[in-house]
Structure 1
């Protein structure tokens, strides 16, 4: 039974318990709008955005472009389970993630997306105007 409960190491600092309560113990109303980690690479003629969305199905991921804003969102929906009383510990979360990005200088018609192994990858081609406006500045 004891091996089912994870052991948590801490620094045993004065404010550790307070931090645990604030960061994980209280619902602050924004839990359903958490974000996810992303990397954005400049590949010269395009940007590549990689977002970690482990555990999601392709159908649960939405990519919307509105004006100069790209919004990525994903949502897990908890299925009703009558046996909830049988859980000893329930850490897997259900909810929504959402994040928006500015598309200034991006050809939104050429955006393409792939999802594999929990990573969403978007190719964001630079617009012709954005490519021509780049210049290198020498440091003196």
Structure 2
């Protein structure tokens, strides 16, 4: 009777064991993982974003800011050719990978963002904007 309630699904039915196993197995596949791992830390007056991009060169990474959105793109091409004495291919392999992630940077001073890449870690310093303090002025009474 409990399995007949609307909007509820019971996973303890003996007849659905295999169905639940395959559903849970494919749910935990890496298809839902982000393109690359990032850590974001709040250091008071700035945020520090660290992105793991192992195997990429600095030239493979591009950072773009448009309309309050920061986009990190890392693209890599690799070619491996092995030829015999006649110039014919014995083996030829190519790999290409491109990863992109976007972040909302509302409240960040876009002109002061800095980036460094070392040992497969891209580190971005994102300084926070200083909130504008409304000016007060005295009005003379005539």
Q: Which runs of 4+ in 1 moved over 6 A?
A: none
Greater relative contact order (CA < 8 Å, ≥ 6 in sequence)? 1
Which has the larger strand fraction? 2
Partner of 1:115: 117
For residue 94 of structure 1, report the CA deviation from its aligned partner: 2.9
Is there any run of 5+ residues in structure 1 with no aligned partner, and where?
Answer: 1-13, 29-33, 133-140
For residue 80 of structure 1, report the CA deviation from its aligned partner: 5.5
Q: Distance in 1 between matches of 2:29 and 2:48?
A: 32
Q: Distance in 2 between matches of 1:128 and 1:105?
A: 9
Is there any run of 5+ residues in structure 2 with no aligned partner, and where?
Answer: 1-20, 84-88, 134-142
- If you compute each CA radius of gyration, which structure gives the higher value, 1 or 2? 2
Q: Distance in 2 between matches of 1:52 and 1:105?
A: 24
Partner of 1:46: 46
**What secondary structure, in the 3-state scheme, does the structure 1 residue paired with 2:96 have?**
coil
For residue 115 of structure 1, report the CA deviation from its aligned partner: 0.4
> TM (normalized to structure 1)?
0.63
Partner of 2:58: 58
Partner of 1:73: 73
Which has the larger helix fraction? 1
Please tell me the root mean square deviation across aligned C-alpha atoms, in Å: 3.5
Q: Distance in 2 between matches of 1:125 and 1:38?
A: 17
